[in-house]
Amino acid sequence: MFTKKVQDAINQQINAEIYSSYLYLSMGAHFESVNLPGFANWMKVQSQEEYGHGMKFFHYVNERSGRVVLEAIAKPPADFKTPLDVMKKVLEHEKKVTASIEAIYELAIKEKDYPTQVMLQWFINEQVEEEKSASDIIELLKSIGDSPAGMAMVDSKLGARAKG
């Protein structure tokens, strides 16, 4: 059964996913402003992906004959430091999203909501990928240190990420 508690938790997750999209778009705008188009591309693709996650939850609520209730999206920060600092913030944010999804999963277990548990498995697997992607970029940035050539290489690599 799709309980109000589960529905409310998923509605909160929709907000969190759309905020993630907005946050990454803000990070992309920052990278555009400091002439790192590859980093900007990566963030814009990530923003689209997060929006898609929000819509996946949105459609799921409707499939279960629930009611989507949208709340205001918080304003994301606009000022960021180094690419390494930004990617650390990405990883920190993704860990927060992972914890939120895991909390909904735990609630679905408690509420004996088996369809939601199955649906959330996709998101749990996705979060493993999201955290690894951010961690890999962090390690790459650490390995290049302050090298301008290394930064150009990483920017080029991130610019190759296909648009969603």
Cα 84-25-49 angle, rounded to 5 deg? 95
Establish if 11 belongs to a structural domain: yes
Distance between CA atoms of residues 36 and 29, nearest Å: 10
Domain span at 56: 4-71+79-159
Per-residue confidence at 162, pLDDT binned at 50, 70, 90?
Answer: confident
Residues 6+ apart with CB under 8 A from 63: none
- Report yes or no on 164 lying in a domain: no
Residue 19 lies in a domain: yes
117 inside domain: yes
Quick: pLDDT tens for 8-19: 999 999 999 999
What is the mean predicted confidence (pLDDT) over 22-42? 98
pLDDT at residue 20, rounded to an integer: 98
* Cβ atoms of residues 53 and 123 within 8 Å: yes
Q: Could you give the dihedral angle defined by the CA atoms of residues 126, 160, 17 and 72, in that order, rounded to the nearest 10 degrees?
A: 180
CA distances from 38 to 28, 45, 61, 99, 128 (A): 9, 11, 35, 29, 23
* Res 2: pLDDT: 85
The pLDDT score that the predictor gives to residue 53 is 98
| Within a domain: 106 | yes
Number of domains in the chain: 1
Residue 54 in tokens: 């929000």
DSSP label at residue 41: H
Query: What CATH number does residue 26 fall under?
Result: 1.20.1260.10
Confidence class of residue 113 from pLDDT cuts 50, 70 and 90?
very high
CA-to-CA distance for 97 and 103, rounded, in angstroms?
10
How far apart CA 52 and CA 101 sit, in angstroms, is 15
List, for residues 50-69, the tens digit of each pLDDT value: 999 999 999 999 999 999 99
